[in-house]
Amino acid sequence: MPKRGKKYREMRGKVDTQKRHDLKEAFAIALDSAYAKFDETVDVAVKLGVDPRHADQMVRGTVVLPHGLGKEVKVLVFAKGEKEKEALDAGADFAGNEDIVEKIKGGWFGFDKAVATPDVMGTVGKIGKLLGPRGLMPNAKTGTVTFEVARAVQELKAGKIDFRVEKAGIVHAPLGKVSFGVDKLIDNFNAFLDRVIRLKPTSSKGIYLKGIAISTTMGPGIKIDTNLAKDFVK
């Protein structure tokens, strides 16, 4: 267990880490607990009643957050011909095919998200071992392998995130910045949680939402009452 700094210990001492709060209270506490000199990111962690070891209980999806993430997302599109032009016209920061692949082989990773048209995936696959560990490999399941490159670029620029349940049954996702304020963060939270609820596997029995907590980059975790959260989403 790493040793925590003085400011973190002070903030944690002011927070009841066992109490489960309603949404507005939880986000207000989280924002009040932010003490870093930079605009901290607010993250959410949801414990699900699933066993990811079974393929039919894997929870994975995407959602466009209403207020985005509060940061510029640099998008790369692997495409050729008219689709390359379409990507650039839609706002992609970079677009190309073999030239971009060679650039990445040389160690360049100046982008946050990658999209690819299906016809160039053979070329992109050559650098799969470079993109995969960084979470940058285009994937049809997250809508980043598609001929609808303009739509994909616009969604990523608008704040589309992808998420998947980890081995421990927990889903993590960013919700935006502290500077967003409570209301915008709750809007983003609701969009995310609604998507997670809709993705509940039919094979999942018992309690699906087992626990929810939010935290800022440097702050302590704040627990949210799952029943109140579900009611708020409805």
* Domains recognised in the chain with CATH numbers: 6-69+160-233 (3.30.190.20), 75-157 (3.40.50.790)
Question: How many residues does the structure list for the chain?
Answer: 234
Q: Is 44 exposed, middle or buried (0-12, 13-18, 19+ CB in 10 A)?
A: buried
Share of the chain above pLDDT 70, in %: 92
The rounded distance, in Å, linking the Cα atoms of 98 and 79 is 9
Q: What are the backbone angles phi and psi of residue 105, rounded to the nearest 5°?
A: -60, -30
Strands 160-164 and 222-224: unpaired
Strands 75-78 and 113-116: parallel
The rounded distance, in Å, linking the Cα atoms of 14 and 34 is 12
**Are 164 and 59 spatial neighbours (Cβ–Cβ below 8 Å)?**
yes
Nearest Cα neighbor of 105 from 84, 131, 80 is 131
Share of the chain above pLDDT 90, in %: 78
Which pair of tokens denotes residue 74? 């640099």
pLDDT in tens, 117-137: 999 999 999 999 999 999 999
Of the pLDDT bands very low, low, confident and very high (cuts 50, 70, 90), residue 1 is very low
pLDDT in tens, 62-74: 999 999 999 889 9
Q: What DSSP string runs through 66-114?
A: TT--SS---EEEE--THHHHHHHHTT-SEEESHHHHHHHHTT----SEE
Which pair of tokens denotes residue 55? 């393929």
Q: Which H or E element spans position 210?
A: strand 209-216
Which pair of tokens denotes residue 90? 């839609």
Which pair of tokens denotes residue 197? 């609820």
Q: Is the pLDDT of residue 84 over 90?
A: yes
pLDDT in tens, 212-234: 999 999 888 999 999 888 776 66
